[in-house]
Amino acid sequence: MKIITGDTIILHCSATTADPKIDVDTIRRWHVKGRGWSDIGYHFVILTDGRIQRGRPLNRNGAHTKGYNQNIGVCYVGGVSTDGKPKDTMTALQVDSFERLVKWLRLITGKRYHIKGHNDYTNLKACPSFKVDVKFKHLL
């Protein structure tokens, strides 16, 4: 399997409440119809119930972090409180799924992969609404 060249998995949030109706097709529509992109920007989306859905193929660069799209983009549904403010809404099932996804990607590619959040690349974004190096320090 040919995989993009980056050495990092960048975690994002959908910047919505933890709405179980949002899935990969919803986000794909936002990116394709709303932004005019060719496909969803993320390689994987983690639903509120922990299911992992595939987005953009792993052999294509993402469209998720300007200047760093050669890395794998993962988005969890949520990241915003009901009053619209950034909030870590990641469910225990989403946490477990993200950890399993990282381990699986490392296994199938043989790469170590660094783990970062979108907010590690810009001060203008709260996404994923927490510090990845704190929450997932055991994966670093």
Asked whether residue 1 is assigned to any structural domain, the reply reads no
**Separation between Cα atoms, residue 82 and residue 80, nearest integer Å:** 7
**12 in active site:** yes
Asked whether residue 81 is assigned to any structural domain, the reply reads yes
Asked whether residue 86 is assigned to any structural domain, the reply reads yes
For residue 102, give its domain range.
Answer: 8-133
Helix, strand, coil tally for the chain in percent (to 5) = 30, 20, 55
Q: What is the CATH number of the domain that holds 121?
A: 3.40.80.10
Asked whether residue 18 is assigned to any structural domain, the reply reads yes
Asked whether residue 2 is assigned to any structural domain, the reply reads no
Number of domains in the chain: 1
Cα torsion 124, 120, 39, 24: sign: negative
Task: State the catalytic residue, choosing from 31, 42, 87, 121.
Answer: 42
Asked whether residue 41 is assigned to any structural domain, the reply reads yes
**125 in active site:** yes
Q: Spell out the per-residue pLDDT of the chain, length 140, in tens.
A: 689 999 999 999 999 999 999 999 999 999 999 999 999 999 999 999 999 999 999 999 999 999 999 999 999 999 999 999 999 999 999 999 999 999 999 999 999 999 999 999 998 889 999 999 999 999 98
Q: Which residue has the tokens 């794909």?
A: 28
Asked whether residue 139 is assigned to any structural domain, the reply reads no
Task: State the catalytic residue, choosing from 31, 64, 87, 118.
Answer: 118
Cα torsion 130, 41, 123, 111: sign: positive
**118 in active site:** yes
**127 in active site:** yes
